Amino acid sequence: MSTGGEAVQPPALPGVDTSIPSAARVYDYLLGGGHNFAVDRLLAETIKKVQPDVAEIAKENRAFMRRAVLFMIEAGVRQFLDLGSGIPTVGNVHEIAQTAAPDARVVYVDYEPVAVAHSRLLLAGNPHADIVAADVTRIEDVLDAEPTRRLLDFDQPVGLLAITIGHYIAPEANPQGVFARYREALPAGSFLALSHLTSDFDVVRDEEIVSVMKTSRDHVYPRTRDEVLALFDGYELVEPGLVTTSRWRPEGEPRSAQGTRPDIEQDALYAGVGRQRP
């Protein structure tokens, strides 16, 4: 997969400060997308100097998301709430879910203007998917939004996706409380899929990544395994539990997602899926 070397400058959007990089656009660049600006590419290249395998980390994370969505589909879930969904690129949640189950419904949530604008363009004409422009920590703004109320039935299980969003929630915003409030809004049988940057591994230059990301609008807060586990409070982790991204049910994936990296800690992210307790 490309690491974004030939990204095309997208048109500026009203309200978008193109002088400040955003995590969503940096991630888009690392995945080979074209919805990013020079300032985002510069930050991504700076991160690559700190953590040279960051593009591989992003790909492993994307592959985990795909497996988690398909696992939920197999478990009977037909509706998804994707927190911090980012900029549309190949293999979005609605594409994965609706290929496996055409009636699947997806609500994306992001506050990054480029992510919201391009998601709306992508989803035009798709009656089963939409995006909410909101900060994921403002739970009522997400749950009371028209697309959420229109597309999701909270009497039926929901797949809550928190793929690399938790580590953007500052400690003072009470990330465990944020996840608890979403859990309380979901019925029994719902699932949470989560991946999160960790400070546990020596091969992850977390302090340097934190420092570099302070130049963007999205600061990063890596957490320990116990801190990530706490975000699953009220859920029962399915096998294999909380592991790194490439180690979460890699069967049937291409080589890069089959757990063949020389050091599992290079994944940099903890990942897991939990089922809400009755």
**What CATH number is given to the structural domain containing 266?**
3.40.50.150
Residue 132 pairs in a beta bridge with 109
The answer to whether residue 44 is domain-embedded is: no
Average pLDDT over residues 39-56: 92
The answer to whether residue 16 is domain-embedded is: no
Which residues form the domain of 235? 54-276
The answer to whether residue 13 is domain-embedded is: no
The answer to whether residue 9 is domain-embedded is: no
The answer to whether residue 108 is domain-embedded is: yes
Note the pLDDT tens digit of each residue in 167-205.
999 999 999 999 999 999 999 999 999 999 998 988 888
Note the pLDDT tens digit of each residue in 106-115.
999 999 888 8
> pLDDT averaged over the chain?
89
The answer to whether residue 25 is domain-embedded is: no
User: Angle, nearest 10°, between helix axes 38-50 and 23-30?
Assistant: 70
Instruction: Give the tokens for residue 3.
Output: 């690491």
Pairing of strands 191-197, 269-276: antiparallel
The answer to whether residue 62 is domain-embedded is: yes
Residues in the chain: 278
At 97, the amino acid letter reads A
Contact criterion met (CB below 8 Å) for 115 and 182: no
Contact criterion met (CB below 8 Å) for 201 and 225: no
The answer to whether residue 34 is domain-embedded is: no
Q: Is the pLDDT of residue 255 over 50?
A: no
Q: Which one is predicted more confidently, 34 or 46?
A: 46
Per-residue pLDDT band for 8 (boundaries 50, 70, 90) equals very low
CA proximity to 63, closest of 245, 191, 228, 197: 245
Number of folded domains in the chain? Answer: 1
Q: Is 113 exposed, middle or buried (0-12, 13-18, 19+ CB in 10 A)?
A: middle
